[in-house]
Amino acid sequence: GAGTQTAGLAFGGVVTGALDNSEEYNGSSWAEGNNLNQARYYLAGCGTQTAALAFGGDGSAGVGGLTEKYNGTSWTEVNDLSTARNFLGGVGTQTAALAFGGLIPASSSVGNATEEFDGTSWTSGGNLSTARQQITGFGIQTAAVGVGGLTNTASTQTNATEEYNGTAWTGGGNLPTNRRNAAGAGILTEGIIFGGRNAANTANITTTDSYNGTSWTTVNSLATAREN
């Protein structure tokens, strides 16, 4: 998803199969927007309701690197990610986005690669210190946070936080517990993650944690437990 609390955008996902739907939120209700060119799930997104970016994902062969721009009316395909992946982290804006980590279908491995988008094409950035998929991200291209996730293709979760300065990742304060498949919002010094899968990998959770750029604090929970 992308946008703000009063001008949000949701796209893609899965019910019984991959979805191409987009919906726009005005602060009180949802309305249909134009569909993605390619149905997919486990993708990343960033930007605003009228300038969004969708990239990566799964659903059919060849979608893992696909990048699309939304102008508030329709989606347009642009240059692909250099490395096709799903379950990746994504932050930033339509003209300054960041993609990191994820599951690499071509090698069935977990990646640490970071790519930066300038509005036209992707270029390589500094690698995550710890390769992981199902990672949560928030922030901007030059001040991003990547947190939690799976460090392999099975069920080894992490609570590690990393911060990106536009060049390299460095360690931040650890989450209170290991966690994966949460959602994130905000900036490096005032961000939150919410929901996800618990450390034992037995249930979805309602937990919300707030980050101040140094450490995490648990705050009010979601009403409904969920992941992905």
The CB density around residue 196, as the number of other CB atoms within 10 Å, is: 31
DSSP assignment of 137-203 equals: EEEETTEEEEE--BSSSSS-B---EEEE-SS-EEE-PPPSS--BS-EEEEETTEEEEE--B-TTSS-
State the pLDDT at residue 125: 98
State the pLDDT at residue 13: 96
Instruction: Map 159-177 to HEC letters.
Output: CCEEEECCCCEEECCCCCC
Determine the longest span between alpha carbons in the chain, in angstroms: 43
Give the list of residues 6+ apart from residue 16 with CB closer than 8 angstroms, or none. none
Tokens of 189: 């010094």
| Residues of the chain scoring pLDDT < 50 | none
Contact (CB, 8 A) for 18 and 35: no
**pTM (predicted TM-score):** 0.96
Q: Over the Cα atoms of the chain, what is R_g?
A: 16
